[in-house]
Structure 1
Amino acid sequence: MGLVTGILTLPFAPVRGIGWVIDKVVRTAEEEYYDPARVQEGLVQLERARTEGRIDEEEFARREEELLHHLEEIRAYQLRRGGQSGL
């Protein structure tokens, strides 16, 4: 960026900064939501709750289905993004 361009676009710097921050927040949220390790840990915790008798079979089946569906969603997302499947 040249000096003149830098001076002329200076009033838009806050807008570019806000855009950068929003981009970082969205990327971080996507990384957390599409992290298969978190879902797999949820499956482990769910199995532990069933084994310890804290939830019944019906609740276990419902929540397990939700978690497995989320894993499928993660796999589809990773394939769209270009690979690196951790499943």
Structure 2
Amino acid sequence: MTAADFGIIRELAYQHTGIVLPERKRHMVYSRLSRRRRLLRLGNFGEYCLKLQGDPRERAPFVTALRTNRSEGGRVGEGGSSAWLSWR
């Protein structure tokens, strides 16, 4: 994920959810969105960013991927916690 890709993802996350993604969350964002990118058979995050910008139907899976806090058992963390988020 390039710096430009992360910038686009940060902006879209803020626009559509109010989530603020600081630079220190870049690895987490990469990890959470990689599965979605592979599922869509996109070669890189630049292609995924174009998909996000051009296809409104991709917004819900994008937000879900960012907000889902999974434990090792594959379940949503206790109380569905999203403690890593910063809100506006």
Q: Answer whether TM exceeds 0.5 for this pair.
A: no
- Structure holding more helix per residue: 1
- Structure holding more strand per residue: 2
Instruction: Kindly name which structure, 1 or 2, has the bigger radius of gyration based on alpha carbons.
Output: 1
Q: TM-score, normalised by structure 2?
A: 0.25
Q: TM-score, normalised by structure 1?
A: 0.25
